[in-house]
């Protein structure tokens, strides 16, 4: 069941848009726990807000899932490797990340934890913060 649930979620993730956010409850539980470098939220309503905020700030945001896998641990855990393709203020933005996916008994997702390098893939692109991060990185290079 969890293999099929992970594939179903990956398909939804690749098709998520402002027009189908009303379908989140088809793939996520009401108490979904979502974590990424900017958020640590619980609940379907807040999850929808996270997606809406992303679509409000990024142009043409779309996920491509490149790999899926199921873990062999005691609790079923899915893994998604993905790329977010978008533009930010007219400049291309591609973020590569990995997500841990947990499953409820009914096969819907109850846990989604994103892992991606926000410093390198996002903050470094911002004018002042990016310059500062580049200076710090140079100081730390071996």
CATH of residue 86's domain is: 3.10.450.50
Residue-averaged pLDDT of the chain: 87
pLDDT of residue 131: 56
- The model's pLDDT over 36-89, given as tens digits with 9 standing for 90+, comes to 988 999 999 999 999 999 999 889 999 999 999 998 777 889 999 999 999 877
Q: Is residue 12 part of a domain?
A: yes
Q: Rounded to two decimals, what is the model's pTM?
A: 0.81
Query: Is residue 121 pLDDT above 90, yes or no?
Result: no
**Helix, strand, or coil (residue 38):** coil
Sorted by sequence, the CB contacts under 8 Å of residue 142 that are 6+ apart come out as none
Q: Which of 117, 119, 112 is nearest to 135 (CA)?
A: 119
> Over the Cα atoms of the chain, what is R_g?
16
Number of domain units in the chain: 1
Q: Is residue 72 part of a domain?
A: yes
Q: Which of 137, 10, 1, 19 is nearest to 80 (CA)?
A: 10
Q: Is residue 81 part of a domain?
A: yes
Q: Which domain holds residue 105?
A: 2-116
């Amino acid at each position: 069941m969890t293999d099929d649930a992970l594939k179903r979620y990956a398909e939804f993730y690749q098709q998520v848009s402002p027009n189908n956010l009303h379908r989140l409850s088809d793939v996520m539980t009401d108490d979904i726990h979502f974590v990424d470098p900017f958020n640590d939220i619980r609940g379907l309503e807040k999850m929808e807000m996270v997606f809406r905020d992303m679509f409000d700030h990024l142009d043409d945001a779309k996920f491509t899932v490149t790999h899926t896998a199921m873990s062999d641990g005691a609790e079923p855990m899915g893994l998604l490797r993905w790329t977010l393709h978008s533009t930010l203020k007219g400049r291309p933005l591609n973020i590569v990340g990995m997500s841990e996916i947990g499953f409820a008994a009914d096969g819907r997702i109850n846990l989604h934890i994103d892992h991606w390098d926000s410093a390198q893939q996002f903050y470094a692109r911002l004018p002042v913060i990016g310059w500062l991060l580049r200076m710090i990185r140079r100081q730390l290079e071996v």
